[in-house]
Amino acid sequence: MTKLNSEQDFLTLIDKYFPSENGHVTLGRGDDCSILRSGTDLCISKDLFLEDVHFRRSYFSPADIGYKALAVNISDIAAMGGQPCGFALGLIIPPSLESEFWEPFFQSMSALAKQHGLILAGGDLSGGQYLGISVTVWGEAAGGRFLSRGNAVPGDILFLHGPAGMARTGLLALEESGTKATDFYPECVQAHLRPPMRVAAGIKLAESEHVKGLMDLSDGLARDLPRFLGCCEGSLGARISLDESQLHEEIIHYAESKSISAAEHAFLGGEDYALFGAASADGFAELKAKIPGLHQIGTITGDNKILLNGKEYTAGGFDHFSK
C-alpha cells in the first residue's frame, strides 16, 4: 500500500470506499458543506470512539475499529425506530499509525454503511497523539414515527431485543487475556468487537402502537434502566427477572470462574447495543410474535424501586466520569 503522507492521500483512500453523492446527498464531499435533501424529520446523533477509552488496538483489529465506530452510531438510530441515511466522519490520526491500518478500517466501515444504506456526507481530519473517531449519524422515521425513551406506566412490559451481558463478558475477558480470550469466550468477544445492528427490529417496533418507548442498551441495564424510568412521568420502578436460562452459557461460565452472580454481571452489562423498551401488557404477545428475538425481562412498577430477581438493586452502572 502507498504510504499516506498527506490529507489528500487520506481523502483519496476514503473516496475509494465511500460514494460521494446519492439521492439523499446532492452535493457531496469536497466542498465546505454537503447538501442533504429530505422532506421529513430527521433524528441525529454523535458518538466518539477513542483509543484506550473505548477500544485498544492490542485486541481490536483495524477492521473491528472501523466496524464498531460506525455501529455504535447506527444503534442510536435503530433505538429511535429510524432508518439510517448518512453520516459524517472525523478522524484524529497519530503519526505512529502505519498506513496498512487504513485499508481494512475503511473497508469494514464502508461494508457496514452499505449494508444499512448510509452515505458518507463529509467530515474532517486532524493529526493527534491517539487514534480517535467521531461519527455524526442521521436517519428518517421509516416506521412512521420516532420512538423516544420513557412514556411507560406501571404494568407495562420491559423487553430486550438482543442479549444483556455478553459484551461485558467479552470486554473483561479481553482485558484479562488479550486475543486469547477468543479461545474461551468466542461469542462474547465477538459481541464486544462487532455488536450486531438491530435496525429492522427498531423499525418494526416503531410500527407497533403497543410500544411505549425505546432506547439502545449501551451502558448496561444497571445504568440505562434508571435513565429510561427517569423519562417517564412519576416515580416509577421496575421488577427485572434475569434467570440463568435467559443468559448465554459463556456468561454463566465466566461468572462461575469469578465466583460472581451471573445475573448481576449481565445486569451491569455495558456495550450490549441491544434494544431496550416498554410495551403495553395487552399487546406484548402480538409484538413478540411479529419480532423474533424479542423477550420480556420485567415490568414497570409504581414504587420507585428496582428489583433484580426479587432483591432491591441500588448499585450504579457504567459512567465515563464516575470515580
Please give the annotated binding residues for ATP, written as ranges: 123-124, 149, 218
CB atoms within 10 A of CB 56: 14
Buried b (16+ CB within 10 A) or exposed e, 231-255: ebeeebbbbbebeeebbbebbbebb
Three-state SS at 125: strand
For the sheet containing 83-93, what is the strand order?
A: 42-50, 132-140, 83-93, 119-127
For strands 83-93 and 42-50, give the pairing: unpaired
Instruction: Tell me the residue length of the chain.
Output: 323
Three-state SS at 272: coil
Cα torsion 45, 50, 53, 55: sign: positive
Q: Residues 156, 271, 197, CA angle at the centre, nearest 5°?
A: 80
Beta-carbon-side half-sphere exposure of residue 97 (alpha carbons within 13 Å): 21
Taking the mean position of all CA atoms in its chain, how far away is CA 63?
Answer: 17
Which residue positions form the known binding site for Mg(2+)?
Answer: 32, 45, 47, 76, 124, 216, 219
Which residue positions form the known binding site?
Answer: 32, 45, 47, 54, 76, 123-124, 149, 216, 218-219, 271, 318
125 is written with which cell numbers? 481530519
Give the separation between CA 247 and CA 190, rounded to whole angstroms.
16
Give the separation between CA 12 and CA 10, rounded to whole angstroms.
5
Which residue positions form the known binding site for substrate?
Answer: 54, 271, 318
| Cβ contacts of 291 within 8 Å, gap of 6 or more | 161, 201, 204, 205
Beta-carbon-side half-sphere exposure of residue 300 (alpha carbons within 13 Å): 29
Taking the mean position of all CA atoms in its chain, how far away is CA 117?
Answer: 17
